[in-house]
Amino acid sequence: MRPWLLSRLVNPGGAPTEAVLRRTIAGKTVLVTGASFGIGEACAQVLGAAGAHVLLMARSHDRLATVAESIRSAGGRATDYPIDLSDVDAVAAIAPRILAEHGAVDVLVNNAGKSIRRSLALSYDRFHDVERTIGVNYLGAARLVLALLPSMRARGRGHLINVATIGSRVPPGPRWGAYQASKTAFDVWFRSAGLEARLDGVATTSIYMALVYTRMSAPTPIFQRLPGLHPAEAAGLVARAIVDRPRVIAPWWIYPAELLSVALRDPLDALMERLYRRTADTPLAAQVDGGHPCRA
């Protein structure tokens, strides 16, 4: 059973009411990546119910169409764009089509992600683990921003939201190298781009999610015993970002954790090494082509 009270203590909150969200987003166009499952699906449903025209992007064609139809059946507006974000040429090609069909994108929610938890010993012949995580988590995400940002800057308004991970702000852990590196790469790129984009009226928000109970986190058994958020709660943080437009949303403890990670690096490394020795790869990680599923 989820430790509910502890989850409330360690995770940020503050989701706006539906009325407040509707006043902010109704009639606007919002693009959500990774919209077929998990956080992305929950975001699409919440934003569609609040009156936004939601553009859904993910590689799961049939599932994406189902989510879009459910929004339309509830009286909302939704258009699905099946695409694999790791195909940067396809991303570059679809962006002009989106702008031509909708005029502009008011909010981009970069949510799609791919997670892999696998030890180094199982990764010697799996360089594609590095390639596919960086393809979705960094290269595809950056290509989409570069394609949509010029129109936002030209209009002097817009909002870029990155659903990031606390893994970009805490010391690296064993087995998580490919995932943490790719998410951190985009996090740094996104923050740097924000320094320039905000001068032209485009807001940027980085949401540093801790644990969210999705199919991406499900293959790691210990996660089910830790405090976290359900997708609808995570979508509430995205809604808060849209309404308040802060630069950062993160758990309160991330800031002291960052300081301690610098001051106590050697002891923390020793702790991580001990943790690695006491744990094992999941059966899924040991499969020939295993790994955690894509959030898209």
Query: Cβ contacts of residue 45 below 8 Å, gap of 6+?
Result: 67, 70, 71, 235
> Can you tell me whether residue 195 is helix, strand or coil?
helix
Mean pLDDT, the chain, as a whole number? 90
Distance CA 133, CA 181 (A): 9
Distance CA 266, CA 248 (A): 28
Which residues sit opposite 56 in a β-bridge? Answer: 32, 80
Residue 131: the pLDDT is 95
- Strand 107-110 and strand 158-165: pairing? parallel
pLDDT (mean) for 8-32: 94
* Catalytic residue chosen out of the listed positions 179, 208, 213, 276: 179
Could you give the C-alpha distances from 207 to 178, 195, 198, in angstroms and in order?
20, 16, 17
Q: pLDDT tens digits for 34-68? A: 999 999 999 999 999 999 999 999 998 999 999 99
Question: Cα torsion for 240, 60, 289, 174, to the nearest 10°?
Answer: 0
Instruction: Copy the structure tokens of residue 240.
Output: 């808060």
Q: How many CB atoms lie within 10 A of CB 104?
A: 15
Residue 292: the pLDDT is 43
Residue 214 has pLDDT above 80, yes or no: no
Residue 142: the pLDDT is 98
Give the model's confidence band at 222: pLDDT under 50 very low, under 70 low, under 90 confident, else very high.
Answer: low
> Can you tell me whether residue 208 is helix, strand or coil?
strand
Residue 295: the pLDDT is 38
Tell me, yes or no, if 179 is annotated catalytic: yes
Residue 36: the pLDDT is 94
Residue 106's H or E segment, with its range, is none
Query: Cβ contacts of residue 118 below 8 Å, gap of 6+?
Result: 126, 129, 175, 178, 281, 285, 290, 291
Q: Using an 8 Å Cβ cutoff, are 176 and 167 in contact?
A: yes
Which comes out higher in pLDDT, residue 224 or 136? 136
Which comes out higher in pLDDT, residue 174 or 217? 174
Residue 27 has pLDDT above 70, yes or no: yes
Which comes out higher in pLDDT, residue 187 or 271? 187
Q: Quote the pTM value.
A: 0.90
Give the model's confidence band at 280: pLDDT under 50 very low, under 70 low, under 90 confident, else very high.
Answer: confident
Q: Tell which residue, 43, 147, 34, 137, has the closest CA to residue 83.
A: 34
> Can you tell me whether residue 156 is helix, strand or coil?
coil
Give the model's confidence band at 3: pLDDT under 50 very low, under 70 low, under 90 confident, else very high.
Answer: low
Q: Using an 8 Å Cβ cutoff, are 54 and 28 in contact?
A: no
Residue 209: the pLDDT is 93
Which comes out higher in pLDDT, residue 13 or 235? 235
Residue 149 has pLDDT above 80, yes or no: yes
Give the model's confidence band at 294: pLDDT under 50 very low, under 70 low, under 90 confident, else very high.
Answer: very low
pLDDT (mean) for 67-71: 98
Which comes out higher in pLDDT, residue 104 or 295? 104
Residue 1: the pLDDT is 47
Residue 13 has pLDDT above 90, yes or no: no
